[in-house]
Chain A
């Protein structure tokens, strides 16, 4: 019998919680319609300032998931290739780069249908003489 009274007591104990939740705004958002704005410091996808890059490869050496590749023909002409599908947005390239040319912005919605679309040539410097 005590058991039943305890059940009834916990009913009236919990009732104010659910009523308060009932009349307050719901916490969830309908995602595709309403998007969640990430904070400024959010580490999203890799971007680059091509002028500062001198092709030293510091970022390529430290990337944990081999998402960066440097094809260097000579001192002036080289290409920095970024494999977006392998990148885990850890921010180590931004840390290792001494010329602050590579950085992470806070975009996170990125989907492509073909695998090729994930590969992006960040820097493409050719012999301009």
Chain B
């Protein structure tokens, strides 16, 4: 691919700009859906963009005594890692760079923001940030593991750690959503835990720890954090779609692209419905739910696939 094509690939179409617009759109859809579920009018379409622009304009202060450079690097690292993760996902283009083991690289890049979230809490030394950081660490160890195990069900079935192989086996046989329906729901639960969305959003529970690790952040840094979380949702969902639904449409075609967007919107509606229905669980209930129910179920499910 010549230089210009790479430039388009990275910055314009399936790259930076497109991902940003998709992230803002999905974030708006999420807030609008939850509002309508609750009988409210909901924000106008440009609300997420307006929030970011406002945050960029706001003053960027940190508590005295925090290490300025460390606090500045953390949002950058997490934002960069999520963006690089989006390059490996073949959203609508056939030739995404794929090599043996990029499944694990993608998993690692997606889990970086959660680690950075904990460090952000530790750096700013606020009362609420430390508690928020501790809680996000507890959640990091339980729900990242669940997400990895549940998604690796598809890798085991396709016998290789490369994303394109996963897609090829799905086209040959049938999309993994039908044989591995339980694996799909478990990985969805893992994704909700990773994104710290409603039922599992104890680290940033508004009523106890204000905004958790992000309590002391403001201005540009906070805007970057919010952008990271929104991007993480998009990348996580498209990763899920790629591993469970990718056999249903042909790549590199316009219709394929729109079907992919349709699935993205459907999954976002599912996430919004889940977050509208459940109350926030306590940290011990969260861990209990994960290690007593989700992980054993995933292991059984993976063993079943291995034997099949």
Is the pair A15, B36 in contact by a Cβ cutoff of 8 Å? no
Q: Which of B90-123 contact A (CB under 8 A)?
A: none
Query: Which segment of A21-29, A51-59, A93-101, A109-117 sits at the interface?
Result: A21-29
Is the pair A21, B293 in contact by a Cβ cutoff of 8 Å? no
Q: How far is the CB of B158 from chain A (nearest CB, A)?
A: 28
Q: Which of A1-58 contact B (CB under 8 A)?
A: 1, 3-4, 7, 10-11, 14-15, 18, 21-22, 24, 26-30
Asked whether B39 is an interface residue with its Cβ less than 8 Å from the other chain, the reply is yes
Partner of B40, one of A1, A3, A7, A28: A28
Is the pair A18, B41 in contact by a Cβ cutoff of 8 Å? no
Write out the residue numbers on chain B whose beta carbons fall within 8 Å of the beta carbon of A26: 35-36, 39-42
Q: How far is the CB of A96 from chain B (nearest CB, A)?
A: 43
Write out the residue numbers on chain B whose beta carbons fall within 8 Å of the beta carbon of A7: 278
Query: Which segment of B165-173, B202-210, B269-277 sits at the interface?
Result: B269-277
Chain A residue at minimal CB-CB distance from B274: A11
- Starting from the known contacts A11-B278, A22-B37, A28-B39, 4 additional A-B residue pairs (CB-CB under 8 Å) come to A4-B289, A10-B277, A18-B38, A30-B41
Q: How far is the CB of B35 from chain A (nearest CB, A)?
A: 8
Write out the residue numbers on chain B whose beta carbons fall within 8 Å of the beta carbon of A1: 293
A to B CB contacts below 8 Å, 8 in the list: A7-B278, A10-B277, A11-B278, A18-B273, A26-B40, A26-B42, A27-B39, A30-B41
Write out the residue numbers on chain A whose beta carbons fall within 8 Å of the beta carbon of B41: 26, 28-30
Q: How far is the CB of A34 from chain B (nearest CB, A)?
A: 10
- Cα A4 to Cα B290 in complex, Å, equals 10
Given contacts A11-B277, A15-B273, A18-B273, contact A3 B39 (CB under 8 A): no
Write out the residue numbers on chain A whose beta carbons fall within 8 Å of the beta carbon of B289: 3-4
Write out the residue numbers on chain B whose beta carbons fall within 8 Å of the beta carbon of A21: 36-39
Is the pair A3, B274 in contact by a Cβ cutoff of 8 Å? no
Chain A residue at minimal CB-CB distance from B40: A28
Give how many A residues have a beta carbon under 8 Å from the other chain's beta carbons.
Answer: 17
Partner of A3, one of B33, B35, B293: B293
Q: Which of B39-56 contact A (CB under 8 A)?
A: 39-42
Is the pair B39, A24 in contact by a Cβ cutoff of 8 Å? yes
Write out the residue numbers on chain A whose beta carbons fall within 8 Å of the beta carbon of B276: 18
Write out the residue numbers on chain B whose beta carbons fall within 8 Å of the beta carbon of A4: 289, 293
Q: Which of B6-52 contact A (CB under 8 A)?
A: 33, 35-42
Write out the residue numbers on chain A whose beta carbons fall within 8 Å of the beta carbon of B36: 21-22, 26
Q: How far is the CB of B273 from chain A (nearest CB, A)?
A: 7
Chain A residue at minimal CB-CB distance from B35: A26
Q: How far is the CB of A125 from chain B (nearest CB, A)?
A: 51
Given contacts A1-B293, A26-B36, contact A18 B277 (CB under 8 A): yes
Q: Which of B205-234 contact A (CB under 8 A)?
A: none
- Cα A3 to Cα B285 in complex, Å, equals 11
- Cα A27 to Cα B40 in complex, Å, equals 6
Write out the residue numbers on chain A whose beta carbons fall within 8 Å of the beta carbon of B39: 21, 24, 26-28
- Cα A30 to Cα B39 in complex, Å, equals 13
Write out the residue numbers on chain A whose beta carbons fall within 8 Å of the beta carbon of B277: 10-11, 14-15, 18
Residue among A15, A24, A26 facing the most chain B CB atoms (10 A cut-off): A26
Q: How far is the CB of B123 from chain A (nearest CB, A)?
A: 35
- Cα A3 to Cα B37 in complex, Å, equals 25
Chain B residue at minimal CB-CB distance from A26: B41
Chain B residue at minimal CB-CB distance from A12: B277
Residue among B33, B42, B273 facing the most chain A CB atoms (10 A cut-off): B273
Q: How far is the CB of A53 from chain B (nearest CB, A)?
A: 46
- Cα A71 to Cα B33 in complex, Å, equals 60
- Cα A10 to Cα B33 in complex, Å, equals 20
Chain A residue at minimal CB-CB distance from B272: A18
Q: How far is the CB of A114 from chain B (nearest CB, A)?
A: 31
Write out the residue numbers on chain B whose beta carbons fall within 8 Å of the beta carbon of A14: 277
Q: Which of B276-300 contact A (CB under 8 A)?
A: 276-278, 289, 293
